[in-house]
Amino acid sequence: MEHITLFTDILPEEQERMRVCFKVREKVFQNGETIMEYSSSMKKIGLIQEGRAVLYCCDEDGNEYVIDELNRDSVFGEPFLLPSDSQHYYVCATTVTKVLFIDYEHVIKRCENACHHHSQMVSNLLQMTALRSRQQTDRIYMLSRSSTRKKLIAYLHSLAAEKNAGKFKLPMSYTALAQYLSVDRSAMMREIKNLSDEGVIRRNGRNVELLK
């Protein structure tokens, strides 16, 4: 699937008209600042324009988990992940992050003019939802692996396929990666060292190359 964004196939002048029609708002968040807390109602959609953020889940026991990495053109909000009563979801900036917010009701309700760009945005959202579903399926596969090593290898191969390259930079810190894979960080770092010693990967900081 080609790279789809919220504004794919929508002309710049149409995007400007949509900012008024959809009551688009922009806001800049600092590192560590909460961008959105999910609620039981579908109120708004967020689009990362610049920077990086992380979607976290906190369960009823106070345990926190990394659910997703959000980079440029990533979308988030309740329509993409319906919250449950026992879990709290929130998005937090990990660097200076510029976000565009759109009211969900303005997306699903057609305007009187039945504009082409409105239909195109809905089509883009559906395709992005399908892609997000596939990414979550990939993550379920990773988490289902029986060992830290197998989870790590599955993740690295998935990242290589996404980047279409054997060399890439990990999009998150090793601490965040351990949270993402639901493994112990120390055990994960030992496996990374083993993979390097065995010639399976070459690593320099967060830069990784798959050799086998």
Q: Which residues of 75-97 are buried (b: 16+ CB within 10 A; e: fewer)?
A: bbbbbbbebeeeebbbbbbbeeb
Report the helix count and the strand count for the chain, using DSSP H and E. Answer: 6, 11
Same domain, 176 and 201: yes
Q: In 3-state terms, what secondary structure has residue 51?
A: coil
The CATH number that applies at residue 163 is 1.10.10.10
CA distance 50 to 177: 21
Dihedral angle computed from the Cα positions of residues 31, 32, 35 and 41, in that order, rounded to the nearest 10 degrees: 160
Nearest Cα residue to 202 out of 174, 210, 171, 151: 210
Determine the angle formed by the axes of helices 116-143 and 148-163, rounding to 10 degrees: 150
Query: Rounded to 5 degrees, what angle do the CA atoms 183, 133, 130 make?
Result: 155
Report phi then psi at 50, rounded to 5.
-145, 150
Same domain, 100 and 165: no
CA distance 31 to 201: 31
Confirm whether pTM is higher than 0.75.
no
pLDDT of residue 84: 64
CA distance 82 to 39: 9
In tens digits, what is the pLDDT along the chain, a chain of 212 residues?
567 887 888 888 888 877 777 778 899 999 999 999 887 666 788 989 999 999 988 888 888 888 888 888 888 887 777 656 678 889 999 999 999 998 877 777 766 666 777 788 788 888 887 877 787 788 888 889 999 999 999 999 988 988 888 899 998 889 889 988 989 999 999 999 999 999 999 999 999 999 97
CA distance 144 to 151: 8
pLDDT of residue 134: 80
What is the domain count for the chain? Answer: 2
- Tell me if 187 is assigned to some domain: yes
pLDDT of residue 112: 65
Report phi then psi at 13, rounded to 5.
-70, -35
pLDDT of residue 51: 93
Domain end: 103, 118, 136, which one? Answer: 136
- Tell me if 170 is assigned to some domain: yes
Query: Within a 10 A sphere around the Cβ of 155, how many other Cβ atoms?
Result: 20
DSSP 86-152: T-EEEEEESSSEEEEEEEHHHHHSPPTT--HHHHHHHHHHHHHHHHHHHHHHHHHHHHTSSSHHHHH
- Tell me if 38 is assigned to some domain: yes
pLDDT of residue 147: 95
Domain end: 136, 171, 201, which one? Answer: 136
